[in-house]
Amino acid sequence: MSSTPAPVVVVGGGIIGISTARHLAVAGAEVTLITEGEPTSNASGRSLSWLNSAGLRSEEYHRLRLAGIDRYRTLAARQAGVDWLRFDGGLAWSALGDADGLRRQHEHELALGYDSHLLDPGRVAATVPGVDPAAVPPTGAVWNPGEGWVDLPSLAQFLLKDLVEHGGRLVTHAGPAEVVTAGDAVAGVRTAAGERHPAEAVVLATGPAVPAMASRLGVAIPDATPISLLVTTAPVDTPLRAVLNTPRASLRPTPHGGLAVDSDWTTASIRPAGGGFDVPAEIVTELLEEASKLLAGHPRLVADRYAIGPKPIPGDGDPVLGRADEVGGLFLGFTHSGATLALIAGELLAHEITTGTPHPMLAPFNPRRFR
C-alpha cells in the first residue's frame, strides 16, 4: 500500500468514523465517509460523553485515554470559548458500604499519575459547586479535576467541516452499507441503493453494528453491547459544571443549559417497540428524581427529550482498533469509550492506514487479540 492510500472509505456516522475520516483527509488521503442516516443520529447522539480515564483499567488503556484527553485539551486551547467542550472536573462515588472499592480506585489512579483526590462529604460542596453534600455517602467521593465532557454532535459538525475543507467526501443517508471484497481483500463499499464506492482500505466504524458486519467478512469480535437510555433535560438553574458519576444517576451539563442524565439500572426497563425501543414514563421520572437528589436545592428536572439504543461495548470491555488480519485493507473502530477516544482513535487509525505501519499504542487493541 502506498504512503497515502487512495481511495479510502469510512463507514459509520458516529464520532469514531467522523474523526477517522477527518484525520485521513488532513493526512492527504482520498477519503469518503458514508453514513447510514444523519451523522451522530445513533450512539454518538445519546452519549454522556464524559472525558476521563477514571477507575481501574490497564496501563495501556489508561495511556490511550490520556492521549485522547490531551487531544481535546489542544482543541479546547485552539477553539477557546466554545460551549460544547469543557474541563470542569469529574466527581464519582460508589454505593454505600463500598469504601474499599472507592479507595482502591483512588490509589490505582494515583499510582498511574492521574490527578485524583479522595474527598469527604464536607469538602465536596466547597470543591464542586452545585452538589448536595448530603447525597455523598460517608465514605466520600473521588474528585478528578482534569476531567471534562464534550457534546458529540457539536464536535461532529466541527470535524465534518474540516473533513470537507480538506477534500473529503461526505455521503449521508446511504442506508446500511456492505463491504465488497475481491479475493482476500476489500474492494470497496456498496450502499443500500447499490451505489459502489471503490476502496483500497475500508474502516468499519458503525458502532454497535461492527461485530455483525465484521462477522459477515469472517472476522469475529466479541460483543457486550447493551441497550441504554439518555435523558436530556430542559434548562435548569444549577451552578453544577462538573460531571457526576454515582450509583443511581450520572449527569453532566449540556451546551443549552440543561443536563444529560443516564444510569445503567434503567436498562432492565427498556423494551422493544415498533422496530426501536421505549421505556416507561415512570422510569424517566425516577431517573430525573435521582439526579435531582444529587444537586443542591434539589431542583425539579424536566425531560426535554430522551433517546434509547445500543451502546457499543466490546466483549472484553477494551477498544477494538486497527487492521483486521483476515481481510486485506479492512480496519475496525469499535469501542465503548467513543467520546474520550474519538480524536486519538481517529488520528492513530489514519496513521496506520496512510503509512501502512501499525501504531504501537493500538497494538494491545488490535482485533487479532481475539484469535
**pLDDT tens track for 30-69:** 999 999 999 999 999 999 999 999 988 899 999 999 999 9
d(C-alpha 339, C-alpha 86), whole Å: 13
pLDDT of the residue at 172: 96
Domains and CATH numbers, the chain: 8-46+152-222+315-370 (3.50.50.60), 90-145 (no CATH), 226-310 (3.30.70)
CB neighbour list of residue 277: distance below 8 Å, 6 or more residues apart: 227, 270, 271, 308, 309
Burial of 265 (0-12, 13-18, 19+ CB in 10 A): middle
Q: How confident is the model at residue 98 (pLDDT cuts 50, 70, 90)?
A: confident
Residue 3, SS3? coil
pLDDT of the residue at 119: 95
CB neighbour list of residue 209: distance below 8 Å, 6 or more residues apart: none
Percent of the chain's residues with pLDDT above 70 = 98
Q: How confident is the model at residue 96 (pLDDT cuts 50, 70, 90)?
A: low
pLDDT of the residue at 97: 64
Residue 8, SS3? strand
pLDDT of the residue at 63: 96
pLDDT of the residue at 370: 94
- Residues 349 and 72: beta-carbon distance below 8 Å: no
Q: What is the mean pLDDT of residues 277-295?
A: 98
pLDDT of the residue at 114: 93
pLDDT of the residue at 55: 86
pLDDT higher than 90, residue 282: yes
Q: What is the mean pLDDT of residues 105-116?
A: 93
d(C-alpha 343, C-alpha 346), whole Å: 5
pLDDT tens digits for 205-226? 999 999 999 999 999 999 999 9
d(C-alpha 43, C-alpha 249), whole Å: 19
pLDDT higher than 80, residue 1: no
pLDDT higher than 60, residue 4: no
Residue 208, phi-psi category: left (phi > 0), alpha (psi -120 to 50), beta (remainder): alpha
